[in-house]
């Protein structure tokens, strides 16, 4: 077992002699940024939860959203979104003296209720009025025939009484 680790130790010693440290040889992990709810469309003024995950225990996270930097000791923050923006993060790792790589950017697209297509109230009432007029026009021939038959029956009944 000790013979297998000997080449690794020699490699590390040779790199330290050149001014490299052990942390230089270990690649920095990449942070992963997640958003809840999903960042497809967010209503203006809505709140989203951003989570920055990185291997190891983080001691501080740096967030960049909409051009502003936010430094916090937490891996999770809640922000209120008023305009479309991109966010990304990285964390410094407690067990090492370095920080992770920046996460990939996440786009937060904001929409406002006035931008969402809604049917105006006036159009709804016109639609109702149109349906009412259409119904009356469709029913009017039947109504007219019913009235004519009623008058005809009344006259026939009145004439029959005059004869008797």
Query: In this predicted model, what pLDDT tens digit does every residue of 26-67 receive, in sequence order?
Result: 677 888 888 888 766 788 888 899 998 888 777 788 889 888
Q: What is the CB-side half-sphere exposure of residue 71 using CA atoms within 13 A?
A: 3
pLDDT in tens, 4-23: 555 545 444 554 444 545 55
Q: Can you give the residue ranges of every domain in the chain?
A: 2-115, 119-164
Q: Cis link prior to 37 (omega < 30° from 0)?
A: yes
The DSSP call for residue 115 is G
Spatial separation of the C-alpha atoms in residues 31 and 19, rounded to whole Å = 27
What pLDDT does residue 147 have?
A: 86
Using 50, 70 and 90 to split pLDDT, how confident is the model at 115? Answer: low
- CATH class of the structural domain 2-115: mainly beta
Smallest CA-to-CA distance from 122 within 112, 130, 134, 133 is with 130
């Amino acid at each position: 077992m000790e013979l297998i680790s000997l080449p690794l130790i020699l490699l590390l010693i040779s790199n330290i002699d050149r001014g490299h440290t052990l942390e230089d040889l270990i690649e920095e992990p990449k942070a992963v940024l997640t958003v809840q709810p999903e960042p497809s469309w967010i209503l203006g003024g809505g709140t989203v939860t951003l989570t920055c995950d990185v291997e190891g225990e983080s001691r501080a996270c740096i967030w960049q959203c909409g051009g502003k930097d936010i430094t916090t000791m937490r891996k999770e923050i809640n922000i209120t979104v008023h305009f479309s923006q991109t966010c990304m993060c990285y964390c410094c790792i407690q067990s090492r003296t370095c920080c992770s790589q920046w996460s990939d950017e996440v786009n937060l697209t904001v929409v406002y209720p006035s931008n969402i297509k809604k049917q105006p109230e006036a159009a709804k009432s016109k639609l109702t009025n149109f349906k009412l007029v259409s119904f009356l026009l469709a029913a009017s021939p039947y109504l007219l025939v019913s009235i004519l038959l009623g008058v005809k029956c009344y006259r026939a009944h009145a004439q029959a009484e005059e004869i008797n």
